[in-house]
Each structure stands twice: as C-alpha cells, then as structure tokens.
Amino acid sequence: MSTYQPSRACCATPAIIGPPYPFEGSFIEIAGTKCYTAGPSTAQAAIFIIYDIFGYSGQILENADKLGEHHQVFMPDFFDVKPTPLDWMPLDGPADEEKMDDFCEEPGETQTTVKRDVRAERAGSAIAFGG
C-alpha cells in the first residue's frame, strides 16, 4: 500500500499538454546541479523556483520566463533529470503506487533534496547551492 496520497484535484484534472514551449532562458550547471535560469543578470531581485514532481515541463518553463521579465530566476533540477512521468497520473492500482513510492524514496526523497538544493546564496550574478 502506497504512503503517497495525491490530492483529488491532482488525479481528476487532466494534465496540461500543449505544443512544445520555446523557452527563453537557458540551462546552466551550478555546483554540479543543472539549473534553468531566466531574466536579466542585472535584476535587483532573484526568484528561486521549486517545481512540482513532473520537473521541467513547458508550463513550468513558461512561468519561469514570465517571472524573469523583471527578476532573475533560478530553478535547479531537483530530481537529477528523473522527474515523475505525466503518464503515471492518476495512480491506478498497486503497480503505479509502487512506482510512486520508489520515486518518493529516490530521487524525490524530500530531506535529501532539501539538504542539497534549497540553500542558495546570491552574490552578484553568481548563485551557489549547498547543504
């Protein structure tokens, strides 16, 4: 039996899948972590985005780009390029629940992710991750 219990809205609302989004930012590597960044490096404020379990979707990149119109945006790849596939939802039986449990243990295990990525320091145009 899965310990993961998604919200009713998560499983009842169809995924938003449109044409591929032509993102405006860029992917860089910071301290060994892939990171999406958008917005001007001269911005007076930065936004640190934590995305959902589905990773870098077009919708997430589009929102990062919109926030990047006035701020510098940083969005690290918390799941090491192994997000939850959209076709896992809704969970449909023990096999799907087991896949989600495996994801929540690694790479989606919260404590490891938080320790590695949530501390961010901004110095000029540089940002460093650590834990």
Closest of 51, 62, 58, 55 to residue 17, by C-alpha: 58
Our CA dihedral for 33, 34, 35, 41, rounded to 10 degrees, sits at: 80
Per the CB < 8 A criterion, the answer to whether 33 and 3 are in contact is no
Dump pLDDT digits (tens) for 105-116. Answer: 777 676 766 665
- Tokens 């994801």 found at: 103
Domain ranges of the chain: 23-126
pLDDT for the residue numbered 14: 60
Classify 70 as helix, strand or coil: coil
> Band of the pLDDT at 8, cuts 50, 70, 90?
low
Q: Which of 123, 122, 31 is nearest to 77 (CA)?
A: 31
pLDDT in tens, 35-91: 899 999 899 998 988 888 888 888 889 999 999 999 999 998 877 777 887 777 777
